[in-house]
Structure 1
Amino acid sequence: MSTTLPGPLGFLLGPVGVFGYLAVFLWPFLKVELDDPVGLPQFDILTPLDSHYDYIVVGGGSSGAVIASRLSENPHVSVLLIEAGGDGSIISDVPAMVATLYGTSMDWNFKSASDGKSCLGMIGGRCSWHRGKAIGGSSNINGMLYNRGNKADFDRWAELGNHGWSYEDVLPFFRKSEDQGNHYYAQDSRYHSVGGPQPVSDPNFETPLAWAFKKAARHLGYTNGDVNGESQFHFTVPQTTTRDGRRFSTAKSFLRHAKSRPNLRILLNAKVTKLVLSKYGVQGVIYKRFGNIASVKCRREVILSAGAIGSPQILMLSGIGPKRLLKKLHIPLYKDLPVGMSMQSHIGTSIVFSLKEPVSFNVARFITNPAHLVAYLKNGRGFLSSPSGFEGFGFIKSGLQNKAWPDLEILMLSGHPSIEGGLLYRGSLNLRDEQFDQYKSIQFEDGFTLIPYNLHPHSRGRIILHSRDSDAKPIIQPNYFHDPRDVQSLIHGIRVSMKLGQAPAFKHFGSELFPVPNPFCKYLPFLSDAYWECVVRHFTYSIHHDTGTCRMGPYDDPYSVVDHQLRVHGVQGLRVADASIMPEITSGHTNAPCIMIGEKAAHMILYE
């Protein structure tokens, strides 16, 4: 069992904290199981790799862990899974501790490039870009919210020339992985299933704000319901990828029981730097581990599942990418493809409300109450079982897009940027002093935040290689709000959020719109459209749903990198399977679609 405590946990779970002392004394008598996600040896350097494997999966994240597990179910093939990070941490098991993992060894800790149009209230004009670096990938450090997207998303993928990716095509793969913990939802066998490897459950802990969120939505004419069922157009408390109050990353869900299979080898702390290519296609991979360079060959295929940043980076380092960029970096061209282009990201902003009643996810108050630790260690309940206060979301149309899907989500965080004094969220958001200081008057006090964000932005970003050095972080150009239509739709979401936060259900707890203007926008009429445009460009809330950098589409699609079977155009034996292949971003959180992509990719590889 790992007991390493990463990140700024000094007063939360450190050896001198009240929680630390109580845990030491109570742990032997309590029942909750907390340990490393998979229980793999972190520094296994004694057992040599085989020279060849049938399949090499690069990246053990939300898609890669699924693919490696499913491929290895076939005892007649050998599978190597290579992951750049380690086995995670005990803290990644505890849902409420998610923010403590940002900036640690489990986070790639990227930053976006400054462009003068967004992230202006962040240090250097750069938004934080948290991505998981551990077996399980970002499913170790995300908010755990389970949302598949909208039916029309996948029908649109099929319309774009991707045969086999309509909603009816992908729904069986969503069901295949799911172990639905809500008895009522589980009875709906068309949309849900039980017995899959990925737990999906209702939260074990809610503040009264979760109830208020649903009631306020009904007051505005919206409905409550299952957003993963017949219709997505509901407001509800999110289900999460947890069980008994513990996070279940894809590593824990798909690899914990698969790791003992003799045909599956999992290599941690190994960063793939380049593909081995010949005129016959991909032959294997080159990786770096503990300062040493090594290679391993494949007999059948390499599957890149390194994510929307890692997969295009590896392709471009290998000579697969835009011809002009690779020539500039003196990388020999293998295949000219639009790798790194067409990136789409969900983006929003924060609307803060203060409260007169002590009903929010107030870490400072909870941390001084040992009953919460006892409840968690005993039966996985209490505030530690909550996904950091994300207690509500809803999906709506702005009326500015003539599409079947929702183009706005309103996410509720039952806290605000300074509710814990800025110890965690200030750094995780990379906030400038001026941006954070506006909330000092409500430091440690109760409140909540509504986060409207664009589900289908018109702006497109890109990933660009910084150099030929595989250790150099790529340049991330999200181009948030470069298309003014994205600002217009987000302002609509802000207006709905203001009505929602001041509905009677929230007023019952004394909710008030936080009256202090954003310091960078105080010269504009307060609450005007011009003011809100200034706010979204300064307090730019990145949701870390990044897609499209290895877009799926037919060969004549000028932005496509892979075909409908995820095979890289013109490269034999190479596929990409992760969020990067999405031709258009889904209407919601991206972890569940990435699990589905992993399920479908493995099925195609083995059976099609």
Structure 2
Amino acid sequence: MSALRAFDSCGDPFTNGPVINNACGQLVSQCTVFLMLLNSIIDNNEKISRDSKRVTPIEQPKSSYDFIVIGAGNAGAVVAGRLSEVPDYKVLLIEAGPDEPYPAQVPSNYFIYKETMYDWNYKTHNETSACGVSDGVCTWPRGKNLGGTTSHHGMAYHRGNRKDYEKWVNMGCKGWSWEEVLPYFLRSEDNREIDRVGSKQHATGGPLPVERFPWQPRFAWDILKAGDELGYGITEDMVGDKITGFTVAQTISDKGVRMSSAGSYLWHNRKRINLDVLTEAYASKIIFNNGTAVAVEYVKGGIVNVVNASREVIVSGGAVNSPQLLLLSGIGPKKHLESLDIKVVKDLPGVGKNLHNHVSYGLDFTVDEDEEDQQNNTADPLHTYLDNQTGPMSSTGLAQVTAILASNYTSPDDPDVQMFFYGYTATCLNRDTPKKRQIRIIAVNLHAKSRGELTLASSNPLIYPLITSNDLQNEDDAKVILWGLHVALSMPNTPTMKKLNLTLVNTPISHCSQFRYMSDEYWKCAMKWNTRTENHQAGSCRMGTDELAVIDPQFKVYGIKGVRVVDASSIPVMVSGNPSATITMLGERAADFIKADHPPDNKLL
């Protein structure tokens, strides 16, 4: 416990949440010390680290495998884990990053690893309608470790809704209706609150633990009450019969501890001799022989290696890495590949196209802290969390509160706005500040019409691709966000928020001074200047049947043999909500498709 005593001497920099004017002295150094000490403490706390359950990566793969899965993120871990159920299959999972860090298991630490070795730290460029404050460069944090971004995000469990999958079918994705995908959501799910949400739309026994966090600030429930007072209602289950309203979301977590895709699909398979996991190995090219994938080239420790694949290569790098790898391998627009002297294996013009994301804008408010949360302020969240995985560190504060709403631009059964909230997180706190909290209310457009693209900057696989999101280029996207901002601006007028003195504290943006402050035109200018990207990137290797489709409805890349793309890049149009559960469903379905094409001789493990 010496590390814990050392942490105490730091003055508890991580407690119950941000208070207005919170400014811990030497914040960066205190946070760095905290993470180092917390890592040491959690390393010896099996209930949090789950160290004994983790995968032990191999140092050197065998020369050949039946299946090679590239990317151990949201989908890749699912595919590899499910394929390893077949004793006949020899499976290699290649991940560019290391194992997920121990402190990432703590829910309050979501996205603390941004711009570290666990983050790809991608940047877009040449944005003309977004991220003006940073000269048209938007930041896209993406997880670079076992579990990918599921080791860093807010853990919300959502599936989109029936209409989302109808759109997929209408785009040529036969077999992807709601009725056809629901069984795969149920297969993956272990809902710990089945008595509350019911078994009609939920299941137990799957690898994905789904439950609410053990702790919510009192203000979370005040938000729900205010949403109800505005007429939007409260829903117990965003994926149930009532898909709109305000709620405290269920999350992909296990008794106050994060559960990544690696935790859900790899940890319990760690002793299978037919599954190898290779970390810190960057897949640089798929090698083909007469149009059939036969091997994967990868870089580890600065050395280029090759491993053979006798059946299939499954690409699960995500919306950035997957199209990049296809392009590097000679699959993509012919002219673009030839301009970089890359041998064309298959001319597929849709690779890297259709790239889109959920985009948002947030407003800052202050709120008077109520008595219950003031009492939480004096608690010791670190010791509470280490003891029983409850308290503020067992949650994401207000980030677990959300709302799915239908704006004036859509129908009630096809909601297009999500409201996010931020505040009351276990972060740096100066206890000498006034008894006010600063919170943020964020309006997200779930039905973005703007489309971007990804191209290669070089044939060198270690050089990042060129990404242009074109966020907010379509003016309809700004209109939807604006509708959500009016919802946020109406909250201080509710009886509940009047009692708590919810007050807008946004500082006017000088760049938008030509518009009257708080007018619609001002907010449109503001969101294009200080754009918030939600890191739900998708669509860059999309499924479909038209000329820009990259994969067929069973994830097979058109025109070649032995390659599938299974991840968010496969999604034709992003679902109306947090996408992690949907990407897990993709992995579940893909594993079934692969097994059907390669019938196993032996029973499943």
TM-score, normalisation: structure 1 = 0.88
Paired residue secondary structure (2:527): helix
Q: 1:439 corresponds to which residue?
A: none
The answer to whether the Cα contact below 8 Å between 1:36 and 1:87 also exists between their aligned partners in 2 is no
- 2:359 corresponds to which letter in structure 1? I
Residue 522 (structure 1) aligned to one of 513, 522, 525: 513
Contact 1:31 1:379 survives alignment (8 Å):
no
- Structure 2 CA distance for aligned equivalents of residues 100 and 601 of structure 1: 32
Q: Which deviates further from its counterpart, 275-284 or 80-89? A: 275-284
Does residue 43 of structure 2 align to residue 34 of structure 1?
no
Residue of structure 2 equivalent to 1:52: 64
Q: Which amino acid counterpart does residue 355 of structure 2 have in structure 1?
A: M
Q: Distance in 2 between matches of 1:510 and 1:494?
A: 19
C-alpha separation between the residues in 2 aligned to 1:242 and 1:392? 15
- Aligned pairs for 1:113-512 within 5 A: 113-121=125-133, 123-185=134-196, 188-225=198-235, 226-337=237-348, 338-357=350-369, 371-387=380-396, 389-401=398-410, 404-414=413-423, 420=428, 446-512=437-503
2-structure distance, mates of 1:443, 1:573 = 62
**In 2, Cα distance between equivalents of 1:320 and 1:411:** 38
Helix, strand or coil at the partner of 2:180: helix
Indicate how the Cα distance of structure 1 residues 460 and 235 shifts in structure 2: closer, same or farther if over 3 A, else same: same
Matches within 5 A, 1:34-113: 34-35=49-50, 39-41=54-56, 44-45=58-59, 48-113=60-125
Match of 2:588 in 1: 599
- Cα deviation, 1:518-555, whole Å, max 9, x if unaligned, reads 2322342111011101110112111000000001001x
Query: Which residue of 540, 544, 550 maps to 2:531?
Result: 540
d(CA) in 2 for partners of 1:360, 1:482: 44
What residue ranges of structure 2 are gaps of 5+ in the alignment?
A: 8-26, 598-605
For the residues of structure 1 that align with 2:372 and 2:474, how far apart are their CA atoms? 36
Moved more, 308-317 or 458-467: 458-467
Match of 2:574 in 1: 585
Query: 1:243 deviation in Å?
Result: 1.0
Residue by residue over 1:11-43, the C-alpha shift from the partner in whole angstroms, topping out at 9 and shown as x without a partner, is 2472699x769x86x997x7733245963446x
Cα deviation for residue 9 of structure 1 reads 6.4
Q: Distance in 2 between matches of 1:131 and 1:10?
A: 24
Q: Assess if the C-alpha contact under 8 Å between 1:421 and 1:444 holds in 2.
A: no
Query: Secondary structure of the residue that 1:288 maps to in structure 2?
Result: strand
Helix, strand or coil: the match of 2:534?
strand
- AA partner of residue 57 (structure 1): V
Instruction: Give the fraction of aligned pairs with identical amino acids, expressed as a percent.
Output: 34
How has the CA–CA distance of structure 1 residues 76 and 503 changed in structure 2, closer, same or farther, with 3 Å as cutoff? same
Once residues 36 and 159 of structure 1 are traced to their aligned partners in structure 2, the CA distance between those partners, rounded to angstroms, is 45
| Structure 2 residue matching 1:479: 3-state secondary structure | coil
| Alignment check: 8 A CA contact 1:96 1:386 kept | yes
Offset at residue 488 of structure 1 (A): 1.3
The separation in 2 between residues aligned to 1:558 and 1:403, in whole angstroms, is 32
Q: CA-atom RMSD, angstroms?
A: 2.7
Rounded to whole Å, the distance in 1 between the matches of 2:459 and 2:591 is 31
In the alignment of these two chains, the number of paired residues is 569
Residues 31, 72 of structure 1: CA spacing in aligned structure 2 closer, same or farther, 3 A cutoff? closer
Which residue does the alignment assign to 2:13? none
Q: Please give the per-residue CA displacement for 1:239-269, whole angstroms capped at 9, x wherever unaligned.
A: 1111111100010111001121011111111
C-alpha distance in 2, partners of 1:586/1:595? 13
Provide the rounded CA distance (Å) in 2 between the counterparts of 1:515 and 1:387: 23
Tell which deviates more after alignment, 505-514 or 290-299: 505-514
C-alpha distance 234-359 of structure 1, shift in aligned 2 (>3 A): farther
| Residue 99 of structure 1, CA deviation | 2.9
Contact 1:109–1:130 (CA<8 Å) still a contact in 2? yes
Task: Look up the equivalent residue of 2:536 and give its one-letter code.
Answer: H
Query: 1:31 and 1:315, CA in 2 relative to 1: closer, same or farther beyond 3 A?
Result: closer
Quick check: 1:357–1:509 contact (8 Å CA) kept in 2? yes
Write the deviation string for residues 357-402 of structure 1: whole angstroms up to 9, x where unpaired. Answer: 268999xx98x85621121111111111112540311111222235
Q: Distance in 1 between matches of 2:412 and 2:333?
A: 32
Q: Which 4+ residue blocks in structure 1 deviate beyond 3 angstroms?
A: 35-38, 358-362, 401-404, 418-422, 442-445
Question: For residues 16 and 568 of structure 1, do their structure 2 counterparts lie closer, same or farther at Cα, with a shift above 3 Å needed?
Answer: closer
Q: Secondary structure at the match of 1:476?
A: strand
- How far apart are 1:202 and its partner, in Å? 0.6
Instruction: Tell me which residue corresponds to 2:548.
Output: 559
Distance 1:227 1:142 in 2: 19
Q: SS where residue 326 of structure 2 aligns?
A: helix
Aligned counterparts of 2:456 and 2:371: Cα–Cα separation in 1: 47
Per the alignment, residue 33 of structure 2 pairs with: 14
Cα contact 1:344–1:461 (8 A) shared by 2: yes
Superposed displacement of residue 420, structure 1: 4.8
Q: Is the 8 A contact 1:31 1:378 kept in 2?
A: no
Structure 2 vs 1, CA of residues 492 and 341 (structure 1 numbering), >3 Å: closer, same or farther?
same
- Using a 3 Å threshold, how does the CA distance of structure 1 residues 360 and 146 change in structure 2: closer, same or farther? farther
- Going from structure 1 to structure 2, the CA distance change for 1:20 and 1:336 (only over 3 Å counts) comes to closer
1:537 to 1:444, Cα distance in 2 relative to 1, 3 A: farther
SS of 2:312's equivalent? Answer: strand
**Contact in 2 for aligned 1:37/1:87 (Cα 8 Å):** no
* More deviation, 449-458/504-513: 504-513
Using the TM superposition, give the Cα deviation of residue 412 of structure 1 relative to its aligned residue in structure 2, in angstroms: 1.4
Structure-2 residue corresponding to 1:429: none
Deviation at 1:502, TM superposition (A): 3.7
Q: Which residue of 2 aligns with 1:431?
A: none
State the shift of 1:467 in Å.
0.7
Offset at residue 184 of structure 1 (A)? 2.4
Call closer, same or farther: CA 1:361–1:32 in 2, change over 3 Å: farther
> Partners in 2 of 1:383 and 1:227 — Cα distance?
24
* 1:131 partner SS: coil
Report the secondary structure of 1:310's partner residue: helix
What amino acid is aligned across from residue 33 of structure 1 in structure 2?
A: I
Distance 2:573 2:373 in 1: 34
Task: Name the stretch that deviates more: 483-492 or 519-528.
Answer: 519-528
CA distance in 1, matches of 2:234, 2:450: 31
Relative to structure 1, is the Cα distance of residues 361 and 516 closer, same or farther in structure 2, using a 3 angstrom cutoff?
farther
What is the rounded CA distance, in whole Å, between the counterparts of 2:596 and 2:296 in structure 1? 24
Distance in 2 separating the partners of 1:296 and 1:501: 60
User: Are 1:259 and 1:266, in contact at CA under 8 Å, matched by a contact in 2?
Assistant: no
